[in-house]
């Protein structure tokens, strides 16, 4: 283990684990090798998207959480969040089976039971009823969903680093430049001790939306080469390239729709107003859709909204199959109101204060040196 890695682990032990009683995840006790695979993905993403030193660790804890530790560019993902991802990916795999084999009698514990399934505690890798873990074809589908959801989760935390959310919040509170003596700081949307005044709440929402849109943009780019490696070939014709990219976009949008809907069962939020510390999960999904359309992420050669249309059609078809009812459609429609529209424009108005083009460099500083 490198000297940097040792010092980072000591830092986490002293500043976090000494207070929470948590520990680093022990891979020797893992029931499945997917934990090792996800750890490798997390390490790769932090190295690829964070210049300089960075660290990624899984934490042995049932908290459904991921964290960005700004002082050392550390991403932490807690085992409880992985359990949630595994359960979400399981129901998504069940949808694929139900569409391929409508009359199947396979065990589908999430149908008409979403809340209980998603909050069912530790994931049972050895459960013989979990056919999607044992049948090779469906296990591949499950693994792909897990990796896609995990990539989005990790990139979201990196998005907070990219856009200097720790530094910007420190400056806003102190009014001066942060120093190395600043206290241990884990990103949250709004500090637990903050008064939830309107300006502070909106700023917290902006940070989450900025991190989401950063994550989704690069998630789409990450996954397209996994699903369509031929996209790396320069000779591929433009129509084929366009079709593959639209298909990949639609798949990624379906994944984040499932992810946010699943989180809704853990932390239900209403959409008649956006008064929560975090933006509602449905609002976050719609914000990704709006930003994708604005920046042309969902375009094909002929239609600027081709991927968005396919993605929405995808999730409106698949997720009601997962639940066995119309709960998803009701949840998605709940954000289509004037209050959410007005809130979105408030967020757009101050996004520039919480985002930047280049990693860790404010736009005005970058332009001063490159303008």
- Cβ-based neighbours of 220, under 8 Å, separated by 6 or more: 248, 249, 252, 297
**74-78/55-60 β-pairing:** parallel
pLDDT of residue 190: 40
Rounded CA-CA distance 37/32 in Å is: 10
CB 307 within 8 A of CB 301: no
pTM above 0.75, yes or no: yes
- Cβ-based neighbours of 71, under 8 Å, separated by 6 or more: 166, 180, 182, 184, 185
| Tokens found for residue 369 | 């040196």
Rounded CA-CA distance 42/40 in Å is: 5
Per-residue pLDDT of 335-360, as tens digits, reads 999 988 998 899 999 898 888 877 65
- Cβ-based neighbours of 308, under 8 Å, separated by 6 or more: 249, 253, 289, 292, 293, 298
CB 66 within 8 A of CB 81: yes
The three state secondary structure string of the chain is CCHHHHHHHHHHHHHHHHHHCCEECCHHHCCCCHHHHHHHHHHHHHHHHCCCCCEEEEEECCCCCEEEEHHHCEEEEEHHHHHHHHHHHHHHHHHHHHHHCCCCCCCCCCCCCHHHHHCCCCCCCCCCCCHHHHCHHHHHHHHHHHHHHHHHHHHHHHHHHHCCHHHHHHHHHHCCCCCCCCCCCECCCCCCCCCCCHHHHHHHHHHHHHHHHHHHHHHHHHHHHHHCHHHHCCCCCHHHHHHHHHHHHHHHHHHHHHHHHHHHHHCCCCCCCCCCCCCCHHHHHHHHHHHHHHCCCCCCCCCCCHHHHHHHHHHHHHHHHHHCCCHHHHHHHCCCCHHHHHHHHHHHHHHHHHCCCECCECHHHHHHHHC
As averages over each run of 10 residues, the pLDDT of the chain (371 residues) reads 80 93 92 96 97 94 92 94 97 98 95 93 94 98 98 97 80 48 46 57 90 96 94 90 96 98 89 78 95 93 94 98 95 92 90 79 55 56
Phi-psi region of 300 (alpha: psi -120 to 50; beta: other; left: phi over 0): beta
Phi-psi region of 52 (alpha: psi -120 to 50; beta: other; left: phi over 0): left
Per-residue pLDDT of 96-147, as tens digits, reads 999 999 999 999 999 999 999 999 888 999 999 999 999 999 999 999 999 9
């Amino acid at each position: 283990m490198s000297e940097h890695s040792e010092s980072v682990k000591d830092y986490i032990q002293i500043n976090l684990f000494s207070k929470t009683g948590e520990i680093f995840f022990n891979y020797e006790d893992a029931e499945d090798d997917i934990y090792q695979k996800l750890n490798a993905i997390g390490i790769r993403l932090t190295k690829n998207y964070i210049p300089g030193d960075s660290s990624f660790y899984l934490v042995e804890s049932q908290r459904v959480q991921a964290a960005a530790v700004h002082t050392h560019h550390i991403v932490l993902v807690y085992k409880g969040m992985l359990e949630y991802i595994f359960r979400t990916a399981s129901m998504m795999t069940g949808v694929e089976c139900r569409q391929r084999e409508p009359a199947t009698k396979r065990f589908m514990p999430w149908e008409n039971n979403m809340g209980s399934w998603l909050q069912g505690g530790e994931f049972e890798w050895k459960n013989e009823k979990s056919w999607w873990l044992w049948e090779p074809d469906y296990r591949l589908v499950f693994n792909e969903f897990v990796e896609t959801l995990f990539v989005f989760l990790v990139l979201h935390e990196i998005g907070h680093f990219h856009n200097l959310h720790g530094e910007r919040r420190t400056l806003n509170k102190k009014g001066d430049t942060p120093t190395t003596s600043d206290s241990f700081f884990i990103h949250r949307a709004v500090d637990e001790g903050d008064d939830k005044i309107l300006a502070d709440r909106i700023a917290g929402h902006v940070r989450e939306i900025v991190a989401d849109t950063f994550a989704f943009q690069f998630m789409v780019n990450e996954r397209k080469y996994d699903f369509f490696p031929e996209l790396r070939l320069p000779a591929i014709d433009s129509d084929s390239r366009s079709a593959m990219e639209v298909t990949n976009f639609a798949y990624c949008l379906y994944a984040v729709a499932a992810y946010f809907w699943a989180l809704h069962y853990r932390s239900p939020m209403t959409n008649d107003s956006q008064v929560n510390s975090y933006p509602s999960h449905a609002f976050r999904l719609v914000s990704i859709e709006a930003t994708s359309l604005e920046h042309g992420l969902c375009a094909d050669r002929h239609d600027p909204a081709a991927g968005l249309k396919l993605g929405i059609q995808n999730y409106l078809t698949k997720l009601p199959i997962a639940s066995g009812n119309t709960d998803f459609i009701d949840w998605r429609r709940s954000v289509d109101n004037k209050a959410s529209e007005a809130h979105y424009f408030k967020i757009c108005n101050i996004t520039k204060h919480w985002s930047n083009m280049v990693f860790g460099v404010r736009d005005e500083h970058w332009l001063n040196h490159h303008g």
